[in-house]
């Protein structure tokens, strides 16, 4: 099962993003595609370009675009209804309400719950962003099926990333990506902001695809297998 997560900056350059997904040997056939910073129009256009179904949730309007700003789950496989989990706290300066978009996806006869997330930026304290992760961990812990969490964690430092691991590790999630997978460039530096976590799944390959230029982020991806227990 191929899972891809990509923050496509403000839902712009969608046709280019779709073309870059289709051109990449690592991205072109996602079973689950998790995207962030999307508007309703942007996610519908992306789904149309890639011939995928989608589930979308957005808690608020983005001041730069004037449209809803949220996350989505896309897949060629059957999906259940979207479930939105609001996240607490916003930054005092240019704060943006955040939520998690989740959907059950039936991949080749096996159900997996996919969660697309975008945490607040570093303008919000690490403590409050950990609280955002804690709210997400509480919400996803009730699922019995294998789970994927992917998105932009805005983890600009190893310390913040380790802090985010805690709530998710406590409910059985393993982080697949690491600090060497730098998916974002700003001020001449690269940062590992985008991550994938799984529960009851194993990974054979994990990477960041550095060739796309449609966004200020690059996609992260993983090839996953259901555990023996789940596949019986």
Q: Provide the 10 A C-beta neighbour count for residue 200.
A: 19
What's the pLDDT at 228? Answer: 60
Q: 0.75 exceeded by the pTM? A: yes
For 209-223, the pLDDT digits (tens) are 999 999 999 999 999
Residue 232 has what pLDDT?
42
Report the distance separating Cα 184 and Cα 154, nearest Å: 10
pLDDT for the residue numbered 116 = 98
Query: Residue 230 above 60 pLDDT?
Result: no
Cα separations (Å) of 169 from 24, 174, 176?
31, 6, 12
In the structure, what pLDDT confidence band is assigned to residue 186 with cuts at 50, 70 and 90?
A: confident
Q: What pLDDT, in 10s, does the model give residues 44-99?
A: 999 999 999 999 999 999 988 999 999 999 999 999 999 999 999 988 777 889 99
Q: Which domains does the chain have, with CATH numbers?
A: 2-231 (3.60.10.10)
Judge contact between 111 and 191, C-beta under 8 A.
Answer: no
State both tokens at 58: 């957005």
Q: Which pLDDT does position 231 carry in this prediction? A: 46
């Amino acid at each position: 099962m191929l899972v891809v997560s990509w923050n496509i900056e403000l839902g712009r350059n969608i046709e280019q993003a779709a073309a870059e997904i289709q051109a990449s040997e690592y991205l072109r056939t996602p079973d689950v595609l998790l995207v962030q910073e999307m508007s309703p129009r942007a996610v519908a256009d992306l789904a149309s370009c890639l011939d995928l179904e989608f589930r979308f949730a957005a808690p608020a309007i983005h001041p730069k675009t004037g449209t809803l700003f949220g996350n989505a789950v896309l897949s060629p496989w059957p999906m259940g209804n979207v479930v939105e989990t609001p996240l607490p706290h916003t930054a005092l300066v240019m704060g943006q309400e955040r939520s998690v978009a989740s959907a059950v996806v039936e991949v080749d006869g096996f159900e997996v719950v996919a969660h697309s997330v975008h945490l607040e930026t570093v303008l919000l304290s690490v403590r409050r962003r950990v609280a955002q992760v804690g709210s997400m961990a509480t919400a996803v812990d009730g699922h019995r099926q294998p789970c994927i969490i992917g998105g932009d964690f805005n983890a600009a430092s190893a310390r913040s990333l380790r802090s985010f691991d805690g709530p998710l590790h406590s409910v059985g999630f393993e982080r697949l990506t690491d600090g060497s997978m730098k998916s974002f460039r700003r001020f001449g530096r690269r940062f590992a902001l985008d991550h994938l976590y799984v529960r009851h799944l194993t990974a054979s390959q994990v990477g960041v695809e550095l060739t796309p230029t449609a966004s200020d982020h690059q996609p992260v991806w993983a090839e996953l297998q259901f555990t023996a227990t789940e596949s019986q």
